[in-house]
Structure 1
Amino acid sequence: YPPHIDHSQSLLRSDLLKTKFPDDRHNKKVIIVEAQAGQGKTTLVSQFLELSKTTSIWYQVGPEDSDPVLLLSFLLLNLNANLPGFQSQKLSNILNAGCVGPLDLTRCANFLLHDLDNHLKEDLYLVFDDLHLIEFGTLTIRLLEHLIETSPPRVHFIFMSRHPVEIKSKTVRNGVGVSYLNTKDLALNNHEIEDLYHTVLKQEISKHDAIQIRRITSGWIMGIILASHPMSGRSRYWRDDSTAVLSTLPQTGHLLDYFQDEIFGAIPEKLHTPFLKLSFLQEIPVDLAAEIAEVDNIGQVLSSMTRENYFLYSLDDRRHVFRLHHFFQEFLQQRASDQFSAEDIANIFRQEARYYLDRNLTEKALTCYKNAGDFKTMERILKDQGISLLAKNRTFTILTLLRSLPEEILFQYNWLTLLAGLLRVDIAPQTTLPFFTRVRDRFVKTGEEAGELIALSKIIYYHFVISGQYTRGSEILPRTRELLEKNKDTLPMPILVMAARNLAAGYCFFNGEMDKARFYIEKASILATRHDIRNLIASTKFIQGYIELFSGNRAKYLREAEICFSLFNDPLVSESNRLCLRLKDLCYLSMVGEHQNFNIQQLALQQSIDQTVVNQTVAAPCLFLWSASNSFSLGQPRHALELLETALTTTSTAGTDHIHSQILQWQAFGLAVTGYSDDAIDRITQSKRLRDNAGGLFYLAFHSIMAGAVYTRVKRYDQALESLERGLAIAQTIPSTYLIICALLNLSHCRYEAAGAEAAVEFLGTGLGLMKVNGYTHFWSWEPAMMTKLLTLAVKCNIEKSFAQALARDRLHLGFSDDGDPVPLLKFSLMDRFEVSLSGKILFRARDLTYFQREMLGLLVTAKGQRIAQDKIQLELWPERSPENARKSFDTLLARLRKLIAPHLPTSIKDYLFIQKGILCLTNYEIDALQFFDKATTGLSHCKNGDWWQAHSAFHTAVSCWKDAMPEDTFHSEQILAFNDRLSHLLIEIGLTWANNLMQSGSYKEAISILERILQIDSLEESLTILLYKLHLLNNNYLKARELLERYRKALIKALYTETEADSFIDKIVRSVKS
């Protein structure tokens, strides 16, 4: 509510406005006014806004605004009502759909700020009055901090509070662009006191009187007003009974005397009792006042008293809602407490509650019933409406209310307890189990099966996400299933989806019963899809994805991943569900060994999610576990062990048996790989004890496989075989193709170490065959030393030979000699500075080779299949020489090149470079440009099929091959320049395709980053420039858009276009974007 202040009846604070408030340039981002009640904060800010003629939105803060969703909703409502033409459709849709959790606040605020930035043509001040009524340390304060830091330059903030404002944003901490006023600043000086009496109060006082009043009141405006009734020197309310200057707080006794004699005494006696009743209302709607006060013309009375300044304010233009001044309200409440019984006061609150309940203002009604101590009625309301209130984003308001109840009261009421637990799930999930276990027992006694089902479902969720006590979670699955089947026709849709989803999660994670898991998750998914509730759809897809992951059905998982990818940028999907979807993908990327994309997605998660929330779930340690697995796979066991140690010390959920067991088993694996046998055995033994306690069939199977891998490396082969066979048997009961692959390859390795190559062949063939058929090229516990032995055996024994060779090349950077012995690949870098390297060691750079040596290598590595006729090389390098002389030059050049390279190779040069029937051949090589071609074309193929998640992954890998250099920077032959053009065109094509898709999903910054990088190849590429210009405009960065056009213009001039032609090209870009 904006204040209704008669500026003719207030003192203009000219000096303060000049010195502390912004000038016409609006050069203050934040104005903070902290001062005690009655110090004139509201009047001062109102004067500033009136004089500056600036657009403003006045937000009257209440205790309910500790709920940040409520504050955001009302702020949007306020902006819609007061800024002509303004709307924020995405935010409105999200709020209406009821899918805002604590992790979503930043994203929702960004939608609002983006739309404000588009709309505003002049400065806007957002005024938050009575900020002290918000609980500090709440999410609302963090929301306000985010608004300050990320709002457009035209948006400014004014905060008014009686207490220190605990906003710690960077802007406020730095103090730049911040104006701060406190009680001392607002205190009137002697001259202003004289002006107040002369111009406003119309009373004459001397300078001596002004000095005396200033000394006694310390310039406190309310005190000065009181001192005018009667004038200083004759008032018993402000007798000078202290030789020291009074504190800034008023003498309470004097103030109460004043209200009794001057204000309350002036109210007709017949209205005394009605006003005492009304004093318990925070807001006084006229129709409610008539009901409580039992006075017919109460609206006229309130309006009249507002005009006569009886410490009563009108909160709306139509004078339908009023509010008592805090001081006067406290005085009336003290009088009322003496006059009315506790039951009388409770009945006033009940009347107020019924008034709000009739108008569907349930949260206000609940607060009133709480004030009345009527917890039974609160219980009844929350039983009937609690779930729907949660669906409408009323989480924080009700949580604040329930948190104010002592636990001994809360736990007496089933639905109050249940709602208190549900409301904590997204905010403090680790605290929820006592609520659900207690209330579940009470629901069993009262026979309320719907309540019991909700509690059981959330207990499953707790053991799945927080505690990792899968054994305990498994125990309640039968009862949950029974209740769901029995009540499925009467339960509200959101409860059905939640219960079926959590039941599916239990069957998947706790029991490994994938058929039951699929049955219930399909029910949940169909129901959510039928009602098109995107947030619920996302929550079911998380479980569906994990079912396919654990089953090892890679193709089905990828279909689910593509559906999930379309939900990532849907504004109706909550951030907590986005977190789950990201974790699912990270688990997949770790399982299949896509290390680079894992790192990219992990960074994206860390940038988008509040780490404090992540740390409360199993997500945080899982990220360390998966990263450690990646490091083992890359042959970096010491780095992996460091990650595992960090996981133990930095995340709270790492102490659960479920997670601690996994950390210990991976530590045991790392210690065994690095030769610390005793420590490895100790860790794997501890891990088994914890795993047996935690349960979880998939994890029991994988633990057995890891134990077998550890025992193999410490040469306890009998224990290794026993563990691996147990792991294989469990994996087959799930069934999990992925775990079966893990077990078979580790069994092959164990047999190889224990009994030789022949004993390993059977398991090796079955394992590689399963990998090939199911599209796997990696598995957890892949480790280079083991896989080098097994893949070498496969090549020598002709077991899935071509597949084994591909695995060795892609995963281990190994090729094979004619005898089947592994040899490291010779690596050629064309999209970075030209280099030839082997096993990570650089052998030659461009400067180390002669011109002809470089060109010969360039022709060879860019030839199709890396095979080129020597005649073609001779023609390219020595076109004017006779065939005989060219042949001699070729032979000499090749001999010198072979002689240069041979000393650096671990085997014969013939295993890398040879002549065959006049064809120069390269083998056992890897070339970054070929990897780029492969991933780029794969990504474009995925695009055509609409598989955008896989396309983006392929594009990330492709672009990572390019290190800002191209073959044309080193080589000069026509063949290589043509090869260079193919690279450039493909890079531009994936840039356009990728950036367009990102633009359509609203990911402007990522799209801009990609285009800016690719434009480095060709700054004159028009299609990239047009798209980048469009993106800058969509991102509201007009400065960057202008800079891009100017940069493009300079590039055209540099390329010898005339200024007229350059201007024509620029106009074309601008017109194409406008159209």
Structure 2
Amino acid sequence: MKQDESLTSYVVPSNKFYPPHIDPSQSLHRTGLIQTKFPDQKNTKKLIIIEAQAGQGKTTLAYQFLNTNGHTYIWYQIGPEDSDPVLLLSSLLMNLQANLPGFTSPQLTTILNEGSVGPFDLTRCANILLQNLDRYLKNDIYLVFDDLHRIEFGALTHKLLEHLLDTSPPRVHFIFISRQPLEIKGTTIRNGSQIAYLSTADLALGNEDIETLYTRVLHKEISRQDAVKIQKITNGWIMGIILASHPISGRSKFWYDSTTDTLGNKPQPGHMLDFFQDEIFAQIPQKLHDFFLKFSFLQEIPADLAREISDIDTVGQILSDMTRENFFIYNLDDRQQVFRFHHFFQEFLQQRAKALFSEKTINNIYNLEARYYQKRNLTEKALTCYKNGANFAAMEDILQEKGMDLIARNKTFSILRLLQSIPSAILFKHRWLTLYAGLLRVDFVPQTTQPFWDSAREQFIAAKEEIGELIALSQTIYFHFVVSGEYNNGAELLQRTEALLEKNKASLPIPIIIIAARNLASGYCFFKGDMKKARHYIQIATTLAGRHHSHNFIASTRFVQGYIELFSGNRAKYLHEAEVCFSLFNDPLVGESNRLSLRVMNLCYLSMTGDHQNYAAQQLALQKSIDQIVVDQTIAAPYLYVWGCSNLFSLGQAQKALDLLEKGLDVSATASTNHMHSQLLQWKAFGLALTGAGNEAEKYIVQAGQLREKAGGVFYTAFHHILAGAVYIRLKKFAHARSSLDKGLAISRTISSTYLTMCAHFNLSYCRYEAENPDAALDDLEAGLSLLQENGYNHFWSWEPVMMTTLLALAVKRKIKINFVQGLAKTRLHLNFSDNGDIISLLKIKLMDSFELSMSGKVLFQSKDLTPFQRELLGLLITAKGQRIAQEKIQLELWPDSTPENARKSFDTLLARLRKLIAPHLPRPVKDYFYLQKGILCLNHCDIDALQFMEIARAGLSHCQKGYFWQAHNAFQTAIPLWRGAMPEDTFRSEQVLTFNDILANLMTEIGSTWAQNLAEAGRLDEAIAVLERILLLNYLEEGLTILLYKFYCRNNNHLKSREILERYRKALLKAEYTPEEASAYIDHIIATTDF
């Protein structure tokens, strides 16, 4: 037996990785069929499908094709166990490592050994294997999957095989062998152009083939007439033809009615059974008959189990001898200690046994087999045998003791497949089977799990099994949190769950404590807003997960911890959690479902803080990386619309937000839950109120409130009241608005949510401004601004430009936090205010790639509209620190050879003409923008793209130095779109401006190098390559980034692209007027310094 406990606890038969032994002298070589129906030596086909009935020679034909052409191949013998896609992937990895010298996949091995592989992780794991295989292969290889029809309940395994086929490297080819039509329907199969297909008819023997088979292989004389008759009766079915050659056929017996019937496309079981009865079974000693009939119920026949059943010490030797005498018995291991019957022979024996033995006797055989495997710690096999023997109580005992361990060892698919085969009427009578049937569905179809929790919990209460009740309760809380959104119902379960956990904590397995504590923390946070208890329980879960190095549990607990800080409004603590989560996001041992949770948490934060650009980028990344079916099963799907519309409202795009909400209302089943539908409707009401549809707005906000009352959730209830108040303000129903906002503020303070308190204060300020007077709005306005500034926010849910323009103008006029408010106005509203609160439009100055002045979307001046001296003056002023520069410095820079007096006159003239040129295009006096103060020329109320880029880029690099990689990622994601190219070379000539331009270029290079290397170190090489390609599009001459990109392509085994990069660099050098010799020297340097 071959076994690798590090990858799978199944005992893997040696024949799983090799084709059945085929004696060339005992088989007919199908030369003509191979030449006409199979791909030629050039391997022109991606896939060969051999789909034919049993006994048609499918395996033999594939083996002949591979060996005739000298192909490298890996053989994989499919069994029912491969219905578990994780086991198939593990076994395939073992197969490749065993048969390809030096091949390894260390990351996948680590994931399979130490990680948790759920349905969402299969694609990621397959990609790792394919990437490693691509790097290893120098020649083509065939992966043969034989007997694919043996996969049961195999939707996920079929999906895995589809992905392997559709995304594998060009050197990898496949052969799929099956008795039944394939259920694999990937892109390659649908397209058809890369497939060679052989059916039963293709494999059928013709008259000449039959003659050759008889004379050369069976060594029997046969006439052409006999060959024709055999072909007619058997339709070329190879097994039928071989049976016809046995003496038992006697012609008159085998060809029972040659004129009216044929075997057609299916074997004739009656004749097969006659053959086994008379030709095989009759040759077995009579004293062994009873035992062989019992052996037929075994999955495999280990010699020691056979001894236990038969009480014959030499039964192993007997079985071994029979394999050599062709009694349709096969070895499954190298030491000849495990056997199996040929499937035809096994069916024959089982049919006889069922007629002879009682159901009780047969079940006893299964139970004996189960105990055999249970003693050897082969739990999945034991469970299967107990199930076959209808011993559901024994199954319950195993799952109660070892169920969590099986899940931890990635046996989810195997156990779920087994439980799915139990009729529901039986399953729901067994509490532990019911519980695990629910647990194993959580990652597949979470919306179907509540009946399992309810049934299991009811039975556990009746049986007074508190641990089972605790697990069922904990999972019900999780269900209400993630799927149903019935927060009120979930809240009712918290007290009992908490009591059970505290009572049994000392005796509970660690995974159960972590899960229960995490779900309690979720419940107290989301259902009740009790952040003290939420923090207590998440601390328990996080500590245990870290102590036991469970990466998946660490991720799931950090997700809850992050939300606790988000809802509390503690931005600094949230960012700490976000950084921890970002490192986990790249951890191969973190499952895809937890990665989805972390992505959703980050999107929530980006929406709350109004980081629209990163929100859009990370939403796109989520949609690309996670199957939409998976997203739709949780509340993630509707939240993308809730948070997306909030972003649009804050940008003043109310109609776009309403259009988005209309799509969100029907996006998935979870969107129709009270919890999510309420949120969608309240934002719709807000949008309708902003666009003047007052009656509709009131209708929807009332409906949203009714749904929220049913769903519950303290945080969401508080925010609903706040948003309802915002709606009523626009409807001029100020009493309703004030009542709603007061409720929202009171609840926000109760749960200590700084964030919601901030939202409530701003809306209350606006309500009082509109309903009463500006003075009435000041206290709430100052309170809101203080919370905003103290906690590092510059945005909140329900921010919209009209309200905030009014409130920020009031703050400036009343001298409340003027600098902070002006910064808010510039960042969020793209305007400033005068001292008396009047709006000042920003003068936008574009330096990157081209020079341009604009305002309110209208271009005022381009480089060509200004004189060289005017451009130089503006260049010096724009690039000066704080956009303030001494008059003398300008004079010295522009008129170095003039006397101070003449330089001063020239300066005055130049400034006067520039202001005169610009003034007619400005909505306010030019002095609001350009003014001279005590010999210092100042530029005010402007927005300069280069300075934005510089500020954000430096912030990102600073985050990197501190190890804050998620914040750095967001900063770089914002900075790079601002870079449209270096400053135009022909626009400015002064040394100061040119130095400023060099700083910008160097910053861009540093961003590219730093970000790309961070991504590469995190295992995200494709993203690193994309970053470098994006930056180099702007300047192919950047040597450092070119070297890095070349290195990454080489590391990614993409030598074609690496050569293209070098050639592109060579052309850029030649275009920049380097000599061919110099260009070659640079290329040689890059190659020499790259570590392959």
Flag whether TM exceeds 0.5 (same fold).
yes
Distance in 2 between residues matched to 1:1059 and 1:306, nearest whole Å: 72
Q: 1:964·1:1016 contact (CA, 8 Å) conserved in 2?
A: no
Distance in 2 between residues matched to 1:853 and 1:143, nearest whole Å: 65
Where in structure 2 are the equivalents of 1:293-442 lying within 5 Å? 293-442=310-459
Where in structure 2 are the equivalents of 1:7-406 lying within 5 Å? 7-135=24-152, 138-230=155-247, 234-243=251-260, 246-406=263-423
Structure 2, unaligned runs of 5 or more: 1-15
Q: 2:115·2:588 contact (CA, 8 Å) conserved in 1?
A: no
Q: 2:1053 aligns with which of 1036, 1040, 1050?
A: 1036
Cα displacement (A) at 1:342: 0.8
Distance in 2 between residues matched to 1:852 and 1:38, nearest whole Å: 92
Cα displacement (A) at 1:1037: 1.1
Cα displacement (A) at 1:715: 0.3
Distance in 2 between residues matched to 1:983 and 1:412, nearest whole Å: 71
Q: 1:237·1:258 contact (CA, 8 Å) conserved in 2?
A: no
Distance in 2 between residues matched to 1:530 and 1:254, nearest whole Å: 64
Q: Do the aligned partners of residues 216 and 847 (structure 1) sit closer, same or farther apart at CA in structure 2, a change above 3 Å counting?
A: farther
Cα displacement (A) at 1:85: 2.3
Where in structure 2 are the equivalents of 1:787-936 lying within 5 Å? 787-849=804-866, 851-869=868-886, 873=890, 894=911, 897-936=914-953
Q: 1:744·1:767 contact (CA, 8 Å) conserved in 2?
A: yes
Residue number in structure 2 paired with 1:568: 585
**1:490 matched to 2:499:** no
Distance in 1 between residues matched to 2:142 and 2:340, nearest whole Å: 24
Distance in 1 between residues matched to 2:110 and 2:751, nearest whole Å: 42
Residue number in structure 2 paired with 1:635: 652
**1:974 matched to 2:991:** yes
**1:599 matched to 2:616:** yes
Q: 1:229·1:235 contact (CA, 8 Å) conserved in 2?
A: no
Distance in 1 between residues matched to 2:653 and 2:192, nearest whole Å: 47
**1:961 matched to 2:993:** no
Residues 847-873 of structure 1 show CA distances to partners (whole Å, capped at 9, x for unaligned) of 555555544433332233223455655
Return the TM-score normalized by structure 1.
0.97
Q: Do the aligned partners of residues 195 and 886 (structure 1) sit closer, same or farther apart at CA in structure 2, a change above 3 Å counting?
A: farther
Cα displacement (A) at 1:984: 0.2
Q: Do the aligned partners of residues 968 and 166 (structure 1) sit closer, same or farther apart at CA in structure 2, a change above 3 Å counting?
A: farther
Residues 933-954 of structure 1 show CA distances to partners (whole Å, capped at 9, x for unaligned) of 1111111111121111111111
Distance in 2 between residues matched to 1:235 and 1:195, nearest whole Å: 23
Distance in 1 between residues matched to 2:438 and 2:986, nearest whole Å: 64
Residue number in structure 1 paired with 2:1007: 990
Q: 2:248·2:278 contact (CA, 8 Å) conserved in 1?
A: no
Residues 712-738 of structure 1 show CA distances to partners (whole Å, capped at 9, x for unaligned) of 110000110111011101000101000
Cα displacement (A) at 1:360: 1.3
Q: Do the aligned partners of residues 797 and 971 (structure 1) sit closer, same or farther apart at CA in structure 2, a change above 3 Å counting?
A: same
Residue number in structure 1 paired with 2:496: 479
Distance in 1 between residues matched to 2:1061 and 2:67, nearest whole Å: 41
**1:1021 matched to 2:1012:** no
| AA at the equivalent of 1:472 | N
Distance in 2 between residues matched to 1:396 and 1:242, nearest whole Å: 50
Fraction of identical pairs, as percent:
64
**1:655 matched to 2:672:** yes
Residue number in structure 2 paired with 1:533: 550
Residue number in structure 2 paired with 1:737: 754
Distance in 2 between residues matched to 1:569 and 1:650, nearest whole Å: 29
| AA at the equivalent of 1:404 | S
Q: 1:1010 aligns with which of 1004, 1027, 1042?
A: 1027
User: Higher mean Cα deviation, 913-922 or 570-579?
Assistant: 913-922
**1:558 matched to 2:570:** no
Distance in 2 between residues matched to 1:1058 and 1:225, nearest whole Å: 76
Q: 2:601 aligns with which of 584, 587, 600?
A: 584
Distance in 2 between residues matched to 1:484 and 1:171, nearest whole Å: 51
Structure 1, unaligned runs of 5 or more: none
Q: 1:237·1:257 contact (CA, 8 Å) conserved in 2?
A: no
Distance in 2 between residues matched to 1:298 and 1:577, nearest whole Å: 51
User: Higher mean Cα deviation, 1032-1041 or 433-442?
Assistant: 1032-1041
Residue number in structure 2 paired with 1:547: 564
Return the TM-score normalized by structure 2.
0.95
| AA at the equivalent of 2:328 | F
**1:448 matched to 2:465:** yes
Distance in 2 between residues matched to 1:276 and 1:531, nearest whole Å: 49
| AA at the equivalent of 1:1037 | N
Q: Do the aligned partners of residues 296 and 235 (structure 1) sit closer, same or farther apart at CA in structure 2, a change above 3 Å counting?
A: farther
Cα displacement (A) at 1:605: 1.0
Distance in 2 between residues matched to 1:226 and 1:888, nearest whole Å: 115
1:815 counterpart SS class: strand
Q: 2:717 aligns with which of 674, 680, 700?
A: 700
Q: 2:682·2:701 contact (CA, 8 Å) conserved in 1?
A: yes
**1:461 matched to 2:478:** yes
Cα displacement (A) at 1:877: 5.5
Q: Do the aligned partners of residues 441 and 851 (structure 1) sit closer, same or farther apart at CA in structure 2, a change above 3 Å counting?
A: same
2:196 counterpart SS class: strand
Cα displacement (A) at 1:264: 2.3
Distance in 2 between residues matched to 1:848 and 1:310, nearest whole Å: 97
Distance in 2 between residues matched to 1:18 and 1:695, nearest whole Å: 70
Q: Do the aligned partners of residues 514 and 818 (structure 1) sit closer, same or farther apart at CA in structure 2, a change above 3 Å counting?
A: closer
User: Higher mean Cα deviation, 617-626 or 1057-1066?
Assistant: 1057-1066
Q: 1:278·1:289 contact (CA, 8 Å) conserved in 2?
A: yes
Cα displacement (A) at 1:977: 2.2
Q: 1:596·1:957 contact (CA, 8 Å) conserved in 2?
A: yes
Cα displacement (A) at 1:902: 3.6
Q: 1:967·1:977 contact (CA, 8 Å) conserved in 2?
A: no
Distance in 2 between residues matched to 1:980 and 1:645, nearest whole Å: 47
Q: Do the aligned partners of residues 861 and 244 (structure 1) sit closer, same or farther apart at CA in structure 2, a change above 3 Å counting?
A: farther
Cα displacement (A) at 1:921: 2.9
Distance in 2 between residues matched to 1:98 and 1:1009, nearest whole Å: 28
Cα displacement (A) at 1:1045: 2.4
**1:713 matched to 2:714:** no
Distance in 1 between residues matched to 2:850 and 2:38, nearest whole Å: 57
Q: Do the aligned partners of residues 242 and 694 (structure 1) sit closer, same or farther apart at CA in structure 2, a change above 3 Å counting?
A: farther
Distance in 2 between residues matched to 1:25 and 1:324, nearest whole Å: 39
1:780 counterpart SS class: coil
Residue number in structure 2 paired with 1:510: 527
Q: 1:136·1:166 contact (CA, 8 Å) conserved in 2?
A: no
Residue number in structure 2 paired with 1:614: 631
| AA at the equivalent of 1:705 | I
